Amino acid sequence: MDNKDTIIVPCRPEGVKFFYNGFWENLSISKNKLEVLKYIALYQSVTEKKITVVGKIIKFEKYSISEFKPPKYRVFYKILDKKLNVYLDDTKNRKLIIQSPKYVNFAKLLSCNTFSELFADN
Protein backbone atom coordinates (compact mmCIF):
# COMPACT_ATOMS: atom_id res chain seq x y z
CA MET A 1 0.00 0.00 0.00
CA ASP A 2 2.86 2.39 -0.56
CA ASN A 3 1.28 3.83 -3.70
CA LYS A 4 0.54 7.34 -2.41
CA ASP A 5 -2.03 8.42 -4.99
CA THR A 6 -3.88 10.97 -2.84
CA ILE A 7 -2.88 14.45 -1.74
CA ILE A 8 -4.42 15.80 1.47
CA VAL A 9 -4.70 19.58 1.60
CA PRO A 10 -5.30 21.39 4.89
CA CYS A 11 -7.63 24.35 5.13
CA ARG A 12 -9.28 26.69 7.57
CA PRO A 13 -13.09 26.82 7.88
CA GLU A 14 -13.43 29.45 5.12
CA GLY A 15 -11.67 27.12 2.67
CA VAL A 16 -14.25 24.35 2.92
CA LYS A 17 -16.79 26.10 0.68
CA PHE A 18 -14.00 26.92 -1.78
CA PHE A 19 -13.07 23.23 -2.04
CA TYR A 20 -16.54 22.50 -3.43
CA ASN A 21 -15.79 24.76 -6.43
CA GLY A 22 -13.91 21.83 -7.96
CA PHE A 23 -10.39 23.25 -7.94
CA TRP A 24 -7.61 23.95 -5.45
CA GLU A 25 -4.80 26.40 -6.09
CA ASN A 26 -1.28 27.26 -5.12
CA LEU A 27 0.06 23.74 -4.65
CA SER A 28 3.71 22.87 -4.96
CA ILE A 29 3.82 19.37 -6.40
CA SER A 30 6.88 17.59 -7.76
CA LYS A 31 6.71 16.43 -11.35
CA ASN A 32 6.94 12.73 -10.44
CA LYS A 33 3.93 13.11 -8.10
CA LEU A 34 1.80 14.60 -10.90
CA GLU A 35 1.92 11.25 -12.69
CA VAL A 36 0.81 9.30 -9.61
CA LEU A 37 -1.86 11.49 -7.98
CA LYS A 38 -5.47 10.49 -8.66
CA TYR A 39 -7.35 11.96 -5.66
CA ILE A 40 -7.40 15.06 -3.48
CA ALA A 41 -8.80 15.10 0.07
CA LEU A 42 -9.68 18.03 2.32
CA TYR A 43 -8.49 18.26 5.91
CA GLN A 44 -10.41 20.79 7.99
CA SER A 45 -7.62 21.81 10.34
CA VAL A 46 -9.04 24.27 12.82
CA THR A 47 -12.52 23.41 14.01
CA GLU A 48 -13.27 19.91 12.74
CA LYS A 49 -9.75 18.41 12.78
CA LYS A 50 -10.76 15.74 10.29
CA ILE A 51 -10.69 14.73 6.63
CA THR A 52 -14.24 15.00 5.37
CA VAL A 53 -14.38 15.10 1.58
CA VAL A 54 -12.46 13.70 -1.37
CA GLY A 55 -12.36 14.40 -5.09
CA LYS A 56 -11.16 12.52 -8.19
CA ILE A 57 -8.46 14.57 -9.92
CA ILE A 58 -9.30 15.54 -13.50
CA LYS A 59 -6.22 17.59 -14.37
CA PHE A 60 -3.38 19.79 -13.17
CA GLU A 61 -2.77 23.29 -14.51
CA LYS A 62 0.69 24.74 -14.04
CA TYR A 63 1.16 28.45 -13.41
CA SER A 64 4.03 30.56 -12.18
CA ILE A 65 3.84 33.14 -9.46
CA SER A 66 7.42 34.24 -10.07
CA GLU A 67 10.07 33.26 -12.56
CA PHE A 68 12.45 32.78 -9.63
CA LYS A 69 10.30 30.24 -7.76
CA PRO A 70 9.18 26.73 -8.68
CA PRO A 71 5.81 26.57 -10.46
CA LYS A 72 2.58 26.16 -8.56
CA TYR A 73 -0.33 24.00 -9.67
CA ARG A 74 -4.08 24.36 -9.78
CA VAL A 75 -5.79 20.99 -9.34
CA PHE A 76 -9.20 20.36 -10.91
CA TYR A 77 -11.34 17.52 -9.55
CA LYS A 78 -14.83 16.10 -9.23
CA ILE A 79 -16.14 15.69 -5.68
CA LEU A 80 -16.96 12.05 -4.90
CA ASP A 81 -20.16 11.06 -3.12
CA LYS A 82 -18.11 9.20 -0.52
CA LYS A 83 -18.09 11.18 2.74
CA LEU A 84 -15.13 10.69 5.03
CA ASN A 85 -14.73 11.09 8.76
CA VAL A 86 -11.03 10.47 9.43
CA TYR A 87 -10.20 12.47 12.52
CA LEU A 88 -7.08 13.67 14.33
CA ASP A 89 -7.07 11.42 17.38
CA ASP A 90 -3.79 12.52 18.99
CA THR A 91 -3.21 16.28 18.97
CA LYS A 92 0.07 15.89 20.87
CA ASN A 93 1.68 13.77 18.12
CA ARG A 94 3.30 16.30 15.78
CA LYS A 95 3.71 13.63 13.06
CA LEU A 96 -0.07 13.43 12.69
CA ILE A 97 -0.78 17.15 12.39
CA ILE A 98 -1.22 18.27 8.78
CA GLN A 99 0.04 21.80 8.15
CA SER A 100 1.00 21.35 4.51
CA PRO A 101 -0.08 18.85 1.83
CA LYS A 102 0.59 15.18 2.64
CA TYR A 103 0.46 12.12 0.43
CA VAL A 104 -1.38 8.90 1.31
CA ASN A 105 -2.84 5.82 -0.33
CA PHE A 106 -6.51 6.25 -1.33
CA ALA A 107 -7.59 2.74 -0.30
CA LYS A 108 -5.99 3.22 3.10
CA LEU A 109 -7.67 6.62 3.50
CA LEU A 110 -11.07 5.03 2.88
CA SER A 111 -10.43 2.25 5.40
CA CYS A 112 -9.21 4.42 8.30
CA ASN A 113 -11.06 6.26 11.03
CA THR A 114 -8.14 8.05 12.68
CA PHE A 115 -4.92 9.79 11.70
CA SER A 116 -2.99 7.27 13.84
CA GLU A 117 -4.24 4.51 11.52
CA LEU A 118 -3.72 6.52 8.35
CA PHE A 119 -0.12 7.51 9.09
CA ALA A 120 0.92 4.31 10.94
CA ASP A 121 3.48 3.40 8.24
CA ASN A 122 4.76 6.91 7.48
Percent of the chain's residues with pLDDT above 70? 98
Domain ranges of the chain: 6-116
Report DSSP letters for the chain, one per residue.
-----EEEEEE-HHHHHHHTTSEEEEE---HHHHTT--EEEEEETTTT-EEEEEEEEEEEEEE-S-TTS--EEEEEEEEEEEEEEEE---TT-TTT--SS-EEE-HHHHHH-SBHHHHTTT-
pTM: 0.90
User: What integer best gives the mean pLDDT of the chain?
Assistant: 90
In this structure, which topology does domain 6-116 adopt according to CATH? ph1033 like fold (3.10.590)
> Which band of pLDDT confidence, cut at 50, 70 and 90, is reported for residue 2?
low
